[in-house]
Amino acid sequence: MPITERTPLLVVQLAPRPRRYTHHTLRRCCTFILGSLLVVAVILFLIPASVWKYVPWAYPFPYAYRDGLSYGELQAILQNTPSPEKLREWSNYYTAGPHLAGKNFSQVLWTREKWKEFGVEDTNIITYDIYINYPLDHRLALLKKKGNWTEVTYEATLEEDILQEDHTTGLPDRIPTFHGYSASGNVTAQYVYANFGMYNDFEDLIKANVSLEGKIALIKYGHIFRGLKVKRAQELGMVGVVLYSDPQEDGEITELNGYEAYPKGPARNPSAVQRGSVQFLSFAPGDPTTPGYPSKPGCPRQDPHDYIPSIPSIPISYKEALPLLKALNGHGPRASDFNEYWHGGGLAHKGVRYNIGPSPEDVVVNLYNQQEYITTPLWNVIGVIKGSVPDEVIILGNHRDAWVAGGAGDPNGGSAALTEIVRSFGEALEAGWRPLRTIVFASWDGEEYGLLGSTEWVEDNLSWLFRTNVAYLNVDVATVGTHFNPRASPLLNKALYEATSLVQSPNQTVKGQTIRDVWDGRIGTMGSGSDFTAFQDFAGVASIDFGFQRGPKDPVYHYHSNYDSFDWMDRYGDPDWHYQVACAEIWSLLAAFLIETPVIGFNTTDYAIGLQEYLDSIKPLAENLPENKRFSFQPLEKSIKNLHNVAVAFDAYAADLSVRLGEDIPWYLWWKKIKLLFEIRGVNNKYKSLERKFLYDKGLDGRNWFKHVVFAPGLWTGYSGATYPGLVESFGAGDSENAERWSVIIQKRLEAAIELLS
């Protein structure tokens, strides 16, 4: 480590000198200085490397002086350790029983014990007190009023079928169908079919004079985050929401096309219900009573109703939606009379004509929803492997909680992969590996309700993350199909291409090709919907999220349903568990690349390229501004161009440092080597800080928890990324003054980035 190299150099520099001088005092003086230097050198030499880690000016030395395994040896271990059998075993464990947020402490202990057993000694349970709901009771019935009495024409079971072939579907303690953060209530009213419940769908209904106030909305799942459907219905004075899964969303794999339904075949089981949160995700994730600060015991709490609904909602299957849809036949306009976004429902062959309603006055729905709201502990498991450079940190995270006892896809494929990765890194530690940077493993709780565990932890550790966090690598749903689907901050593109080119594709027909070879290379933009949100959008940490999603020919994935189970995964999702292996390998090799290369494996040019592409993609939206108030993109384009220029130079400089580090520098030029190490340190600090430069302190308009000026969830989409949200929202509102204001804010952030890299 640092001292072994420096000690002899000091001696050599000074040793020849005393001979020339005969004067006694001078000679004694020299002897004294030489002796002292020797003593100091010996003392420094004796200080163990583990202590040097805590001396900030010594941090650069590990970039050059390493002990333990080489990068290549580490990669070999990470590639050879994960096995299908082990992944299947971990998945089987996590999906054996219910593990709703804050409800299964034995899985917390199991996770901590496993990580410790695999060699991550420093593993702790970090607890927050969260405001949360659990289901008590519910009812959905179709009623016909007949004079002075009411006939129940349909009573929904609100249950998914129990299948012999799928052992967790029949657990006595299986989790009821319900919505996270849904309001309790008992409403009886006429109802209206509102398509996907998107902002524009409701606008279309208003334009068509369909009366919404006081009615219940019957809405299809899909396209946008479910909580925003409920939010818009509530804003328009509706009193309840029923959400169902239309087979329209299943593409080619439907019963109508001749595929049998699960468990006999790959099509959707008609009784499948999508649970899920109805929090207003695009306004703020995390505990809705503590926006922006951690939910510690005794902390002040606010009224949550800016972030969660006040009208009840309930999820149902398409089987149970049929009677409601059919009762609308012949009432009100037809969806096919509306624009193309309303066309094509998947239940026409079952006698549904997709009329919009409202239902006749004597045909009403009773929606009863009873939720228990409490403040209760929630547990993250955090494991740390200290690196030689303690203030450069890579975090790997996955959530553990699921809506159902299963969750073999969401999220426990990722949990199994994380277990296998900890085991792989443990093997490397055992073989003598000493990581360059610090690794943190996180098993989050409460993601499903609203990214609770990760958001509270980020809010809690914000200053430490600002100072140290290089990247956050998230895997939520590891595998539910064959389509590799990443999204990332462009800083991480290079690392992802690197990692995916080291992993074999599990597709047998393209044997010998890597994931990188068979993937089109497309990387999506960061929105929300998983635990990277607080890292990317609140803390300004370059983040990535990936997994294998369902491709058009893959079996239907029963998202948030009892059929997202171990048995489904074993038969349809990933029968050989090879995609799970691939996912684990990509994840660990991506981490290793970021942990081990002395110059952080980022590329700022890719960021500048991304910024220009995002800008091009939002240009058409400016058409929405008033005719006489044309918006000029030129100032922004100029700043992006300047950023591009400094980024190219910066990456070239960083690449050159890497090359020089690999070259042999003669020992007598020792100061050159030390200068090089400090230059690398400087470059790494800049790579680490670049993403932070895009944070705007005051946050986005009307949702100031979100601080990033480039990435945020779409205000009315929730999952998918909106780029330059401040601009996009101003365009949407036709507010050119605000668009100019955001243009200036974004330019300032770009200038800060340019200054950093110059």
Ligand X SMILES: *[C@@H]1O[C@H](CO)[C@@H](O)[C@H](O)[C@H]1NC(C)=O
Question: For binding to ligand X (CB under 6 A), which residues are involved?
Answer: 93-94, 96-99, 104, 106-107, 147-148, 186, 188, 208-209, 368, 460-461, 464, 482, 494, 507, 509-510, 603, 605-606, 651, 655
| Strand-pair partners of 88 | none
Half-sphere exposure of 185 (CA within 13 A, CB side): 21
Query: What's the rounded Cα separation, in Å, for the pair 537 and 562?
Result: 32
In angstroms, give the least distance from the CB of 561 to ligand X.
18
In angstroms, give the least distance from the CB of 481 to ligand X.
8
The DSSP-derived string for 264-291 is TSSBPPTT----EE-S-TTT--S-TTST
Cα dihedral sign, 519-611-492-125: negative
From the list 654, 532, 543, the residue with the least C-alpha distance to 591 is 543
In angstroms, give the least distance from the CB of 699 to ligand X.
22
In angstroms, give the least distance from the CB of 494 to ligand X.
5
Q: Which is closer to ligand X, CB of 608 or CB of 715?
A: 608
Q: Which is closer to ligand X, CB of 347 or CB of 356?
A: 356
Q: Which is closer to ligand X, CB of 65 or CB of 94?
A: 94
Query: What's the rounded Cα separation, in Å, for the pair 601 and 492?
Result: 8
Query: What's the rounded Cα separation, in Å, for the pair 667 and 75?
Result: 30
In angstroms, give the least distance from the CB of 221 to ligand X.
26
Residue 516 vs residues 26, 278, 493, 526: alpha-carbon distances, Å? 68, 36, 12, 20
From the list 381, 370, 280, 363, the residue with the least C-alpha distance to 327 is 363
Query: What's the rounded Cα separation, in Å, for the pair 293 and 286?
Result: 9
Q: Which position's Cβ is nearest ligand X?
A: 97
Q: Which amino acid is present at 694?
A: F
From the list 375, 317, 322, 384, the residue with the least C-alpha distance to 350 is 322
Query: What's the rounded Cα separation, in Å, for the pair 691 and 712?
Result: 14
Query: What's the rounded Cα separation, in Å, for the pair 215 and 331?
Result: 15
Helical axes 634-662 vs 670-690, angle rounded to 10°: 150
From the list 720, 742, 744, the residue with the least C-alpha distance to 733 is 742
Q: Which is closer to ligand X, CB of 31 or CB of 186?
A: 186
Cβ atoms < 10 Å from Cβ of 410 = 26
In angstroms, give the least distance from the CB of 308 to ligand X.
22
Q: Which helix (H) or strand (E) holds 591?
A: helix 578-596
For the chain, count helices (H), then strands (E). Answer: 23, 19
Alpha helices in 246-366, H assignment, sequence order: 318-326
The DSSP-derived string for 154-204 is EE----PPP-TT-GGGG-TTPPPS-EETPPPEEEEE-EEE-TT--HHHHHH
In angstroms, give the least distance from the CB of 349 to ligand X.
28
From the list 350, 351, 331, 353, the residue with the least C-alpha distance to 342 is 353
Q: Which is closer to ligand X, CB of 289 or CB of 380?
A: 380
Cβ atoms < 10 Å from Cβ of 303 = 9
Cβ atoms < 10 Å from Cβ of 681 = 20
In angstroms, give the least distance from the CB of 213 to ligand X.
15
Half-sphere exposure of 257 (CA within 13 A, CB side): 14
Q: Which is closer to ligand X, CB of 107 or CB of 424?
A: 107
Q: Which is closer to ligand X, CB of 182 or CB of 605?
A: 605
| Strand-pair partners of 193 | 218
Q: What tokens does 555 get?
A: 């079996």
In angstroms, give the least distance from the CB of 376 to ligand X.
14
Q: What tokens does 489 get?
A: 């901050």
The DSSP-derived string for 330-382 is TSS-BGGGS-GGG---TTGGGT---B--PPPTTEEEEEEEEEEEEEEEEEEEE
Q: Which is closer to ligand X, CB of 93 or CB of 202?
A: 93
Q: Which is closer to ligand X, CB of 243 or CB of 492?
A: 492
In angstroms, give the least distance from the CB of 509 to ligand X.
4
Contacts of 374 (CB under 8 A, 6+ apart): 131, 132, 133, 134
Q: Which is closer to ligand X, CB of 347 or CB of 393?
A: 393
Active site residue ranges: 447
In angstroms, give the least distance from the CB of 259 to ligand X.
16
Residue 307 vs residues 241, 284, 617: alpha-carbon distances, Å? 17, 7, 29
Q: Which is closer to ligand X, CB of 69 or CB of 324?
A: 324
